[in-house]
């Protein structure tokens, strides 16, 4: 009887040990972790989006692959946005023949379309203005402050991010020239 009891206890301990080992194992990190994706940063793919434009069209970021892109998130009430916008327009005029695309992404969920339109007309902006009406792109890009500018290469990879402003003409120019040098 003593041997049977010892055998039963040993088997029970082994089973409990196996269950404990299984239950307490370290799980593999999931690629589908809850919560927002990591903040877009240099070296990572720019999150894609499709938005209406101020002129009535639509713009899809991924359809612009093959071109260097400056994506500038702004609002009409943002004073640093207003201060840096002439330098962005100047850079666009200078580099557009080299294939540069500039997208002014208005944070329309925090702004009004009429104010955005007035801002664009007052500053004489000629590049496309996308409207983030529901804030989905701001959320995808985890907007930390306005203005926020993403310098995106021809493959859709973010090469530089500037949060806050106003950016100097030299900062804009050097980031654009870096994008244009990449083939």
pLDDT of residue 147: 97
Do 40 and 152 meet the contact criterion of CB atoms below 8 Å apart? Answer: no
pLDDT of residue 8: 79
pLDDT of residue 28: 46
- Give the H/E segment covering residue 23: helix 2-23
Domains detected in the chain = 50-181 (3.40.30.10)
| Beta strand extents in the chain (DSSP E only) | 50-53, 58-60, 69-74, 101-106, 129-131, 148-152, 158-163
pLDDT of residue 38: 55
- Give the H/E segment covering residue 6: helix 2-23
pLDDT of residue 19: 62
Residues (pLDDT < 50) of the chain are 26-33
pLDDT of residue 32: 45
Q: What is the 3-state secondary structure (H, E, C) of 117-141?
A: HHHHHHHCCCCCEEECCCCHHHHHC
pLDDT of residue 2: 77
Do 141 and 103 meet the contact criterion of CB atoms below 8 Å apart? Answer: no
C-alpha distances in Å from residue 38, one per residue of 34, 42, 69, 132: 11, 12, 21, 20
């Amino acid at each position: 009887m003593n041997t049977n009891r010892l055998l039963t206890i040993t088997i029970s301990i082994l089973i409990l040990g196996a269950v404990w080992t299984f239950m307490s194992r370290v799980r593999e990190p999931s690629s589908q972790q809850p919560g927002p994706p990591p903040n877009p940063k240099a070296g990572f793919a720019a999150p894609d989006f499709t938005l209406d434009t101020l002129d009535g069209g639509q713009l899809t970021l991924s359809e612009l692959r093959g071109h260097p892109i400056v994506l500038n998130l702004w609002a009409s009430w943002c004073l640093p946005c207003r201060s840096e916008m002439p330098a962005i327009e100047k850079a666009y005029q200078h580099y557009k023949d080299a294939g540069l695309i500039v997208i002014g992404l208005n944070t329309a969920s925090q702004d009004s379309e009429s104010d955005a339109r007035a801002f664009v007309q007052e500053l004489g902006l000629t590049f496309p203005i996308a409207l983030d009406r529901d804030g989905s792109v701001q959320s995808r890009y985890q907007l930390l402050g306005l203005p926020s500018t993403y310098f995106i290469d021809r493959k859709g990879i973010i090469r530089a991010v500037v949060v806050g402003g106003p950016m100097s003409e030299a900062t804009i120019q050097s980031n654009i020239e870096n994008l244009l040098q990449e083939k």
